[in-house]
Amino acid sequence: MLGRGVFVFAVCLAILGNFDWVVRGAQPNILFIAIDDLNDWTGSYGGHPQAKTPNLDRLAARGLQFNNAHCQSPICGPSRNSLLTGIFPSTSGLYFLKPLDIRSIDSLKAAVTLPQYFMKHGYEALAAGKVFHLNDDASFPQYGGDFGRLGPYPEKRISYHKGSKNVDWGVAPFEDEAMPDTKVADWTIDQLGKKREKPFFLGCGFFRPHVPWYVGKKWFDAFPRESVALPETLDSDGDDISGYARKLTFSASAPRHHWVVENDEWQHSVQAYLASIHFVDHQLGRVLDALEASEYAENTLIVVWSDHGYHLGEKQRWAKRSLWEESTKVPLIFAGPRIPQEQEVDRPVGLIDLYPTLVEYAGLPAKPHLDGASLVPLIENPMAAWSRPAVTTFGPHNHAIRSERWRYIRYADGSEELYDHSKDPHEWINLAGKARFNGIIDAHAAWLPQVNAPLVAGSADSDSPIYDPKVVYQPNE
């Protein structure tokens, strides 16, 4: 009998590989940190030469950074719901912000979310701030609150006197202590100081650098406005894309690029975004320090992600809501036990892959019917062969396929774009339509989702002229 037991133990080790926590009886905790609307403007990603993110950088230095990670939807709610359910927007039909409550959506109401799956396997799940767009009580039954979300607001707008009260930027007369992100960090730090009986899945969702870009003066002072570098643009960039693409990526709530330029607000808004990132990085650092000082320091995986990127004038666009690199690329960093240090992965991956990755990492049984793939092979070997591209979707039949070298976009009207990142990192030159690239296009088109579920009820998009006929498209506004 003894020999048989040893055999079974050995088989278990072989199946579970390096992530055999169950066998060893010490499952890792998960500290799951979301930063809203953060593009690649961080030190270790290098998207802006003046970004100040010492805490993200130190995390990347002690962990694994995915250099080619992409969201599945370039909007907060559907991106997060896709990540947390493991289901593509094109499978669920949740392409746009509304409905906010996933349990009101037929295709998602019975979904077992990532934190729920961990709870089913012995974890406790708790969170504060913005992990889901709006918290799902079944996923995080211990929820610390949102502490006022995007507020507080000054008495008067500072820079942009139009539209949503959330679209504005400038030095705000608020102490850091008044900011919701400070309270999210405080709450998370408090949880890390408590004795816990079960392994935890702890969500910490920061709101900045989502607009409004209001943070205190000291964060702005770190970036003297007159020396702030602007993103590179090409005036004729929009000339080689379809009218459909221009209309799809028109955002009613975002500032128009010509307004920003003519009102001399470009450097100011870039400064405000950098200041907001610098501020939230400081809050992240407080949480990382608290974890390091806690009894969970050695047995906690840290995962930091953003829900999508952000345009600040690139391609003459502002905000998210496009299928281009600025909107789809996200920071994604892992650090903790059995994660290699000072390593980077160039393979294309998606936030959709986090669900199966964390399940495998924690040694839980594989969850069927997920649209992503576990990244554990890339954690074990950052150079491992990897055939899958990252897929981003913005409405039915509008998809971007990002491989290691190329971005291919196909829109619902059949128009296409192809960009070669080895020569054109700004995606200025659309190569689609040139016969010599037909093979590249065919290879990428093979990854287009075969299912394009109709929009779920109540999801007409209030920001898009294509999906909401009440929105008037004014390309020259």
Cα 209–chain centre separation: 12
- In whole angstroms, the minimum distance from the beta carbon of 234 to Ca ion comes to 7
C-alpha 210/C-alpha 299 separation (Å) is: 31
- With H, G, I as helix, E, B as strand and everything else as coil, classify residue 407: strand
Compare residues 307 and 461 and give the one whose CB is closer to Ca ion.
307
x/- string (CB under 5 A) for Ca ion, residues 234-263? ---x--x-----------------------
CA distance 281 to 56: 7
Q: Which position among 48, 70, 133, 210 bears the catalytic label?
A: 133
Kindly indicate which of the ranges 256-264, 347-355, 413-421, 424-432 contains the residues binding Ca ion, using the contact rule CB under 5 A. Answer: 424-432
Contact between 36 and Ca ion (CB under 5 A)? yes
Angle among Cα 433, 435, 441 to the nearest 5 degrees reads: 70
- In the bound complex, what is the minimum distance in angstroms from residue 130's beta carbon to Ca ion? 8
Region of residue 299 (phi > 0: left; psi between -120 and 50: alpha; otherwise: beta) = alpha
User: Shortest distance, CB of residue 152 to Ca ion, whole angstroms?
Assistant: 19
In DSSP terms, 204 is beta-bridged to 33, 128
Residue 122 contacts residue 27 (beta carbons within 8 Å): yes
Neighbours of 49 (CB within 10 A): 8
Token digits for 424?
A: 């054109």
Q: How many residues bind Ca ion (CB under 5 A)?
A: 7
Return the HEC string of 309-327: CCEECHHHCEECCCCCHHH
Stretch that binds Ca ion, among 59-67, 248-256, 299-307, 397-405 (CB under 5 A): 299-307
Least distance from C-beta 236 to Ca ion, angstroms?
A: 7
Nearer to Ca ion, 155 or 239 (CB): 239
CB of 79 to Ca ion, least distance (A): 7
User: Integer distance in angstroms from the first to the last C-alpha of the chain?
Assistant: 79
Closest CB to Ca ion belongs to which residue?
Answer: 76
Closest contact distance (angstroms) between CB of 6 and Ca ion is: 51
C-beta of 307 vs 463, nearer to Ca ion: 307
Measured from the CB atom, the residue of 50 and 233 that comes closer to Ca ion is 233
Mutual orientation of helices 54-61 and 266-292 as an angle, nearest 10°?
Answer: 50
Which residue in this structure is represented by tokens 């920061």?
206
Q: Say how far apart CA 390 and CA 372 lie, in whole Å.
A: 10
CB of 237 to Ca ion, least distance (A): 4
Bridge partners, 334 (sequence order):
64, 303
Contact 255, 160 (CB under 8 A): yes
Of 37 and 463, CB closest to Ca ion:
37
Nearer to Ca ion, 33 or 76 (CB): 76
Residue among 181 and 307 whose Cβ is closer to Ca ion:
307
Number of H helices, E strands in the chain: 15, 19
Residue 403: CB minimum distance to Ca ion, A: 19
| φ/ψ bin of 469: left (φ > 0), alpha (ψ from -120 to 50), beta (otherwise) | alpha
In order, the DSSP letters of 408-472 are: EEE-TTS-EEEEETTT-TT--S--TT-GGGHHHHHHHHTTS-S--PPPPTT---TT-TTT-TTSP
**CA pair distance 339, 238, nearest whole angstrom:** 42
Interaction residues for Ca ion, span 374-413 (CB under 5 A)? none
**Candidate list 124, 136, 146, 307; residue touching Ca ion; CB under 5 A:** 307
Q: 291: alpha, beta or left, given left = phi > 0 and alpha = psi -120 to 50?
A: alpha
Residue 105 binds Ca ion, judged by CB under 5 A: no
Q: State CA 248 to chain mean position distance.
A: 21
Closer residue to Ca ion (CB): 300 or 430: 430
For residue 474, the minimal CB distance to Ca ion (Å) is: 21
12 catalytic per annotation? no
User: What is the enclosing helix (H) or strand (E) of 273?
Assistant: helix 266-292
Q: Which is nearer to Ca ion, 314 or 360 (CB)?
A: 314
Q: Using only the alpha carbons of the chain, give its radius of gyration.
A: 22
Catalytic residue at 76?
A: yes
Tell which one of 37, 146, 326, 416 touches Ca ion (CB under 5 A): 37
Q: Is residue 353 a contact point for Ca ion (CB under 5 A)?
A: no
Annotated catalytic residue: which of 76, 210, 308, 444?
Answer: 76
Residue 477: Cβ within 10 Å count: 10
Active-site annotation, residues: 76, 133
Interface residues with Ca ion (CB under 5 A)?
Answer: 36-37, 76, 237, 240, 307, 428
